[in-house]
Amino acid sequence: MKLFFREIKKEAQNAYSLIFDPNSELIWDAGEYLEIELPHKNVDDRGIKRYFSISAAPSEGIVMITTRFFDEKASSFKKAFFGLKTGESIEVKKPSNSDTFFNANDPKKEYIFLTAGIGITPVRSVMKDYSLNNLDLKGTLLYANKDEEYIFGEELEQISNDMPNFSLQKYHGKRIDREVLENLLKEYDNPVFNISGTRKFTTEMKDILLNQLEVDILNVRTSSFGDGY
């Protein structure tokens, strides 16, 4: 199916959101992702396909892809993606996800989001969707970033402040480690962990949760695909 490019906006430093007009055939749950195919000239060895989380909430009426762009260092795909003109179309596909994929669609459960950098994109989708639909999101977002310019930082703080049973903890200059996660397990009863970030970050978080803290594998979900974000 096709999406039609509308505009681009800067979020933080090298992070940008590309906004598309939705296709009526595209139905997704907050936190899911798209496969994008974009044929272009001078294709490099990374090819013409990519996977991106949808950073918009389904109820926003747009499709938004938020990613980093490093100008001349960018891949041929990213250069073509960021070179889209208003009204131009891209071909997309929504893969089918398993129950262990990033999932926070049960308001009765408590969720702990473990996120690093651009991995915030599916979390933004979830939090925005709960907010727009006046639902009570229960849990905590642990958001690690290499500097103090957090993508969607102010927006997510505002959403969090409006939710009585949800909190946001920012981690700049320190790591999300076993002690942090162990303390959260004392605070929450049977929470669901959603991990989003690089493959390295995802692997580290899963190792702590599954192998060190022995969390039930059914309560550990990730949004890492390919090499992650």
All structural domains of the chain with their residue ranges: 2-93, 110-222
Please say whether the beta carbons of 57 and 129 come within 8 A.
yes
For the domain made up of 2-93, give the CATH fold: Elongation Factor Tu (Ef-tu); domain 3 (2.40.30)
Q: What is the pLDDT of residue 229?
A: 40
Tell me, what's the pLDDT at 225?
57
Copy the structure tokens of residue 33.
Answer: 């992702």
Going from the first residue of the chain to its last (229 residues), give the mean pLDDT of each consecutive group of 10, the final group possibly shorter: 95 94 88 94 94 95 95 91 96 81 92 95 97 96 92 96 96 90 94 94 95 96 64
Closest CA to 147 of 187, 116, 188: 116
CATH number of this structure's domain 110-222, picked from the four choices 1.10.340.70, 3.40.50.620, 3.40.50.80, 3.40.50.11720: 3.40.50.80
Please give the pLDDT value at position 13.
84
pLDDT of residue 94: 84
**What is the pTM for the complete model shown?**
0.93
The DSSP bridge pattern shows strands 138-145 and 166-172 to be: parallel
